[in-house]
Amino acid sequence: MKHNFIKVNENNLDVLIDLRYASNDNFTKKKVFFSKNCYLHEVAFEHLCKAIEISRKIGLKIKIFDAYRPVYVQKKLWEFLPNPEFIAPPDKGSPHSRGIAIDITLVDQEENELEMGTGFDEFSKLSYHGNINISEKSYHNRLLLLGIMIDAGWDFFRNEWWHYQLFNSKSYPIVYDMD
């Protein structure tokens, strides 16, 4: 295990992986991550497994949009949108570049994403936890995701309903590249 990371793709988990930055389906509209591998630090992986089990218990699945993010990807995202409300400055270091953050949503058994009020990477106040200017159903689904992740031991980022990270994120080192 390089840097105590686990390759999520190789663990036969009941989870969907749709790494958005490894495709054109992201806010930059171009591929900025040149790997299809989804990595997490082993501690984050344990918490992901707990979240998967909790989701399964209530008939849902987790879909991963982003996990470990190399520093070169963080730099490209910052160049495109240098907004510290949503993107960590590369010199500060993102929890994603430490392998202890994950961007996710919930899907039903037919793998349809639950309504969350905004899409992934909607950089506005509509994405904030606690924003009441979304539908009742979306608010309920965000609370469901939040409850699952908190129960599984994750911390949340107030500005993005999809982002979760381990507590004390800065105690983990930045990892520049895995592949």
Q: Which residues are catalytic?
A: 160
Q: Are 157 and 164 in contact (CB under 8 A)?
A: yes
Which neighbouring-strand residues pair with 5?
Answer: 41
Which neighbouring-strand residues pair with 6?
Answer: 40
d(CA 62, CA 111): 9
Return contacts of 113-122, CB within 8 angstroms, 24+ apart: 113/63, 114/60, 114/141, 114/144, 114/145, 115/141, 116/141, 116/142, 116/145, 116/161, 116/162, 117/142, 117/161, 118/161, 120/20, 120/65, 120/162, 121/20, 121/26, 121/27, 121/65, 121/162
Let me know the angle formed at the C-alpha of 63 by 57 and 66, rounded to the nearest 5 degrees: 135
Q: Are 107 and 145 in contact (CB under 8 A)?
A: no
